Structure 1
Amino acid sequence: MGQPVRVRVSPFAPREQSVPFPACDKQSDKERTLTDVQVSLETGAGLERRLRVQVPASRVEQELEARFRSAARTVRLKGFRPGKVPDGVVRQRFGPQIRQEVIQEVVQSSYSEAIAREKLRPVGSPRIESEPEVPGEGIAYTAIFEVYPEFSVAGLDAMVVEKAEVSVTEADIDQTIERLRKQRGQWQPAGRAAVAGDRVVLDFAGTLGGEPVEGGKAERFAVVIGEGRMLPGFESALVGTTDGADKSFDVTFPADYYEEKLRGQTVTFQVHVHEVTALELPAVDAEFIRRFDVASGDLAEFRRLVRENLEREALAKVQAEMRRQVIEQLLAANPVDVPAVMVSREAASLQAEAARSAGTAQGQAAGAYDEVARRRVRIGLILGELVRAQSITADQGRIELKLDELCRTYDRPDEVRRIYQQNPDLMSQVENSVIEEQVMTWLMERARITTRSVAFGQLMGV
Structure 2
Amino acid sequence: MQVTETLAEGLKREIKIVVPATELDSRLSARLEELKGQVKLNGFRPGKVPTAHLRRLYGKSAMAEIVQNILNETARKTIEERGERAAMQPNFVLPEDESEAGEVLEGKKDLAYTMTYEVLPSFELGDFAGIKIDRPVAEISDAEVDAEVAKLARDSADFQPKDGEAADGDRVTISYVGKIDGEPFEGGADENGQVTIGSGRFIPGFEEQLVGAKVGEERVLNVSFPEEYGAAHLAGKAATFDVVVKEVSAPVEATLDDEWAKKFGLESLEKLRETMREQMQGQLGSVTRTKIKRQLLDKLDELHAFELPPTMVEQEFQNVWGQVTQDLERSGRTFADEGTTEDDAKADYRKIAERRVRLGLVLSEIGEKANVQVTDEEVQRALVDRIRQFPGQEKQVYDFYKSNPEALSSLRAPIFEEKVVDHVLTLADITDRTVSREELLKEDEDAEAKA
Look up the equivalent residue of 2:199 and give its one-letter code. E
Q: Which of 131, 137, 143 matches 1:165?
A: 137
Match for residue 312 of structure 1? 282
**Aligned 8 A contact 2:313 2:357 in 1:** no
Q: Report what 2:256 is aligned to.
A: 284
C-alpha distance after superposition, 1:100-152 (max 9, x if no partner):
44444434333333222333323554443222367876210123445445444
Q: CA deviation at 1:194?
A: 2.1
Q: CA deviation at 1:441?
A: 1.5
The separation in 2 between residues aligned to 1:267 and 1:74, in whole angstroms, is 71
Task: Give the whole-Å Cα distance in 2 for the aligned partners of 1:167 and 1:432.
Answer: 32
Q: Who is 2:76 aligned against?
A: 112
Q: Given the alignment of the two structures, is residue 212 of structure 1 paired with residue 189 of structure 2, yes or no?
A: no
Per mean C-alpha deviation after superposition, the further-off stretch among 112-121 and 90-99 is: 90-99
In the alignment, is the contact (CA less than 8 A) between 1:161 and 1:449 conserved in 2?
yes
* Selected match of 1:454 from 411, 435, 443: 435
Contact 1:121–1:148 (CA under 8 A) maintained in structure 2: yes
- Asked if 2 retains the 8 angstrom alpha-carbon contact of 1:207 and 1:267, the reply is yes
Distance 1:82 1:252 in 2: 78
Matches within 5 A, 1:43-122: 49-64=13-28, 95-96=59-60, 98-122=62-86
Which structure has more RCO (C-alpha within 8 Å, separation ≥ 6)? 1
2:93 equivalent to 1:129:
yes
User: What do the CA deviations read for 1:150-192 (whole angstroms, capped 9, x no partner)?
Assistant: 4445573684432122222211221222233234311222433
The 3-state SS of whatever aligns with 2:198 is coil
Q: Which stretch of the first structure deviates more once superposed, 97-106 or 373-382?
A: 373-382
2:378, 2:227 → 1: CA distance?
A: 52
Distance in structure 2 (CA, Å) of the matches to 1:401 and 1:81: 50
Residue 216 of structure 2 is matched in structure 1 by 244
Tell me the residue number matched to 2:419: 438
1:373 is displaced (CA, Å) by: 8.3
CA distance in structure 2 between the partners assigned to 1:101 and 1:401 by the alignment: 35
Cα pair 2:222 2:240 within 8 Å, conserved: yes
Give distance in 2, aligned partners of 1:194 and 1:348. 48
Letter in 1 for 2:425: M
Corresponding residue number in structure 1 for 2:150: 178
Aligned-partner Cα distance in 1 for 2:201–2:261: 30
Distance across 2 between alignment mates of 1:264 and 1:99: 61
Tell me whether 1:37 sits opposite 2:9 in the alignment.
Answer: no
User: Are 1:122 and 1:148, in contact at CA under 8 Å, matched by a contact in 2?
Assistant: yes
Higher helix share: 2
Deviation at 1:93, TM superposition (A): 6.2
The amino acid across from 1:38 in the alignment is: V
Over 3 Å counting, the alpha-carbon distance change for 1:158 and 1:349 in structure 2 is: farther
Q: Find the aligned partners of 2:411 and 2:192 in 1 and give their Cα distance.
A: 47
Question: What is the identity, as a one-letter code, of the residue corresponding to 2:192?
Answer: R
What residue identity is the alignment partner of 1:59?
E
Task: Verify the 8 A CA contact 1:42 1:49 in the aligned structure 2.
Answer: yes
Percent identical pairs in the alignment equals 26
Counterpart of 1:339 in 2: which secondary structure?
A: helix
TM-score by length of 2: 0.66
Residues 1:260 and 1:460: Cα distance change in structure 2 (over 3 Å):
closer
In structure 2, runs of 5+ residues without a counterpart are: 328-348, 389-397, 446-451
CA drift of 1:288 comes to: 1.8
Question: 1:192 aligns to what SS in structure 2?
Answer: coil
Output the amino acid matched with 1:193.
Answer: E
- Equivalent pair of 1:201/1:275 in contact (CA under 8 Å): yes
Distance apart, 1:60 and its partner CA:
3.3
Measure, in 1, the Cα distance between the counterparts of 2:418 and 2:197.
44
Q: How many residues align?
A: 391
Partner of 1:366: none
Q: Residue 39 of structure 1 contacts residue 114 of structure 1 at CA under 8 Å; is this kept in 2?
A: no
| Deviation of 1:447 (Å) | 3.0
- 2:371 aligned partner: 391
Cα distance between partner residues in 1 of 2:47 and 2:23: 25
Aligned partners of 1:140, 1:447: CA distance in 2, in Å? 53
SS at match of 1:227: coil
Per the normalisation by structure 1, the TM-score is: 0.64
Find the counterpart in structure 1 of residue 333 from structure 2.
none
| 2:344 maps to 1:339 | no
RMSD over aligned CA atoms reads: 5.0
Distance 2:294 2:39 in 1: 63
Deviations 1:359-393, CA, capped at 9 Å, x for gaps = xxxxxxxxxxx989887666544322221233322
Q: Using the alignment, how far apart are the partners of 1:230 and 1:343 within structure 2? A: 38
Cα separation, partners in 2 of 1:249 and 1:89, compared to 1, 3 Å: closer
Q: Is the 8 A contact 1:190 1:278 kept in 2?
A: yes
Residues 162 and 452, structure 1, Cα contact 8 Å, conserved in 2? yes
Partner of 2:111: 139
Are the structure 2 counterparts of residues 224 and 294 from structure 1 closer, same or farther at C-alpha, using a change threshold of 3 Å? Answer: closer
Q: Matched residues in 2 for 1:212 and 1:402: separation?
A: 50
CA contact (8 A) 1:184 1:282 kept: no
- Does residue 156 of structure 1 match 2:128? yes
Structure 2 residue matching 1:242: 3-state secondary structure? coil
- Residue 23 of structure 1 is matched in structure 2 by none
Confirm or deny: 8 A CA contact 1:402 1:430 kept in the other structure.
no
